[in-house]
Amino acid sequence: MLLHIIARGKIGRSAEGELVERYMKRLTMPHKITEMPDRGGKLPSAPPGAVTVMLDEKGRQLSSMDFARRIEGWRDAGTRECRFLIGAADGFDDAERAGADLLIAFGAMTWPHMMARAMLAEQLWRACSILAGHPYHREG
């Protein structure tokens, strides 16, 4: 299954960009990042049956283990692509939220979208580690 981050804004050469790159290199599942302009542009087309996960302040808060199990379930069900959408500073509107299969939030606080991208990359790496039985992750 392809893990596909689709994010508004160009991360460029920044501390956040270095974090994203570091964690994406560690992923054991196929992955890619598509950057879009802050406004406008059309989302890349999704294969049939793709899952869309939207990072949104109105989303559910999942533990790392729950997040990993969701990815495992989609992978085992034969999902070809899991798309993770990160919006620009204004976030998503209700119509966009309605099109997502899952809304998730990294807590109740507001995070800059570039930091959210780094946090997502780390959680994807952690999910892959959990699914591989890696001893790094600790339940607490």
Q: 108-127 burial string, b = 16+ CB within 10 Å, else e? A: eeebebbebbbbbbbbbbbb
Residues belonging to the binding site are: 55, 87, 106-111
Residue 140 lies in a domain: no
Report pLDDT digits (tens) over 75-129: 999 999 999 999 887 788 888 899 999 999 999 888 888 899 999 999 999 999 9
Residue 137 lies in a domain: no
Residue 136 lies in a domain: no
Is residue 10's pLDDT more than 90? no
Report pLDDT digits (tens) over 29-85: 999 999 999 888 888 999 999 999 999 988 999 999 999 999 999 999 999 999 999
pLDDT in the model for residue 50: 97
Residue 74 lies in a domain: yes
Asked whether 116 and 89 are in contact (CB, 8 A), the reply is: no
Q: What residue numbers bound the domain in which 50 lies?
A: 2-131
Q: How far apart are the first and last CA of the chain?
A: 29
Residues belonging to the binding site for S-adenosyl-L-methionine are: 55, 87, 106-111
Residue 138 lies in a domain: no
How far is 14 from 19, CA to CA, in rounded Å? 9
Residue 21 lies in a domain: yes
CATH number at residue 102: 3.40.1280.10
How far is 100 from 136, CA to CA, in rounded Å? 31
Total count of domains within the chain? 1
**pLDDT confidence tier of residue 139, bands split at 50, 70 and 90:** low
**pLDDT confidence tier of residue 136, bands split at 50, 70 and 90:** low
Residue 139 lies in a domain: no
